[in-house]
Amino acid sequence: MLSFRSASTRMVNSSRAMTECLEAALGAGDTDCDLVLFAASIGHDYAELARTARELAPSARVVGASCCGIVGSEGVSESMKDLAVMTVRGRDELAVAHIDGVHGHNARDKAIELAELLRAANPGITMVNLLGPGIDTDNYALIAGIESVLGSEVTIFGATSSDNMRGLVNYQVVDERVAEHTAWAVGFADPTLRVDTQATHGFVAVGEPLEVTRAEENRILELNGKPAWQEYTSRLGLPADATCGDSIPVGALAEQLPDELAAEFGNDHILRVVTSRDTDGAMHYATGIEPGTKLWLTVRDEDRIFGDLDRMMTQMVERAGDRWETVAVFHADCLARGRFLLNRVMKEELVGRMQFPLSKGGAVPPWLGMYGFGEFARLGGRNTYQNYTTAIYAIQRARGD
């Protein structure tokens, strides 16, 4: 039976930060475990974090990611030196796998390889925590590849790694390896557990849509018959030499949802982010995209951001009822929903409103949250990739088990 513990800190020294988190989570004299997952802001030394985790937990596999800030059971932080850790014990009900060289053009084949490694390690997997690179990846292809091996009934949850919203470089960590185009996955095979996932964004589509007139895989080459980046930044009121870091806070793109999904989602559109662009004006989209697709610009609606989050948390609590107890929470939030979108007080209130409903006796469950470039969560009963959302993944055990 899997057991979870978490801790978070803001500390300049990477080794001391990992030591503090593992000792806080597990106890100073008993830091060994079977799995260490971590999210760390871009100012940390990722090799040092991994090395320290391996020293303090020699039995553990270690996986991690760069991010733009963290959320732990202690609260939210967005410094350059944040670290959040989740530890897991229960080796027989875990599987860890990774694949290197993941890009948009090969994402499905790479995901098949990843899923086959997971299945070989543990055929009883019922849920997968997936971490993908945040730049130049077709995230729907990642989902499709995993589902082709493990089946669509296996819930995929997780995030894509990020930097400090510059769209320049992001890192993935496996054991003591630090890479830029790696995807890792953790499979959970504890039959007493389930994961409940849901996401929400609270943005509103506005104006006339842009039409994708030329595209290749996950690269948008033209919008409205013009070089994509030029047309996109023009509509945003930005110069053509603007960076992705300039566009991310204001440039969420929206795809219209079918009516039945819109009703469940509480919004007519699902959002996408642009995390990279080429010198010829091509934009790297977060998923594959077809010519003819219409994309709307969006504006944030603070009332909807908070109202939709409250609705989502109410629905999650109702689904759990008296039958299911939340034993851990994994959480992915878009980096633009942090300090780049909301001021400190509002951001802390938003985190409080997602944590309080899942708390018991005032205690927040073990919690590993990160501000990344994108989020995996179910929509319409299907594994889905989204951007600009708050996505909650509640690991739940039937009461009495």
Where in the chain are the domains?
3-200+306-398, 213-299
Q: Buried (b) or exposed (e) across 146-181, using 16+ Cβ within 10 A? A: bbebbeeebbbbbbbbbbbbbbeebbbbbbeebbbb
Across the chain, mean pLDDT equals 94
Local structure of 282: helix, strand or coil: coil
Q: What are residue 159's DSSP bridge partners? A: 131, 375
Position 78 confidence tier, pLDDT thresholds 50, 70, 90: confident
- Whether 340 shows a pLDDT value over 60: the answer reads no
Residue in the structure block whose two tokens are 């929206």: 254
> What span, in angstroms and rounded, lies between the C-alpha atoms of 72 and 148?
33
Q: For residue range 142-195, list pLDDT tens digits in order.
A: 999 999 999 999 999 999 999 876 778 899 999 999 999 999 999 999 999 999
> What span, in angstroms and rounded, lies between the C-alpha atoms of 117 and 99?
9
4 neighbors 86 (Cβ within 8 angstroms): yes
83 neighbors 17 (Cβ within 8 angstroms): yes
pLDDT score recorded for residue 246:
87
Q: For residue range 313-325, list pLDDT tens digits in order.
A: 999 999 999 999 9
Residue 269, CA atoms < 13 Å, CB-side half-sphere: 23
Q: For residue range 220-242, list pLDDT tens digits in order.
A: 999 999 999 999 999 999 998 99
Q: What is the mean pLDDT of residues 353-378?
A: 95
pLDDT score recorded for residue 345:
54
> What span, in angstroms and rounded, lies between the C-alpha atoms of 171 and 277?
19
Note if the pTM is more than 0.75.
Answer: yes
- CB burial class (10 A; 0-12, 13-18, 19+) of residue 361? exposed
Strands of 61-202, DSSP E: 61-67, 70-72, 75-77, 82-89, 94-99, 127-132, 155-160, 172-174, 177-179, 183-188, 193-200
162, 188, 158, 160: which is closest to 377 by C-alpha?
158
pLDDT score recorded for residue 167:
76
Residues 6+ apart with CB under 8 A from 52: 14, 15, 18, 19
> What amino acid occupies position 248?
I
Residue 385, CA atoms < 13 Å, CB-side half-sphere: 23
Q: What is the mean pLDDT of residues 90-111?
A: 97
Residue 365, CA atoms < 13 Å, CB-side half-sphere: 21
Q: What is the mean pLDDT of residues 194-205?
A: 96
Q: What is the CA radius of gyration of the chain?
A: 20
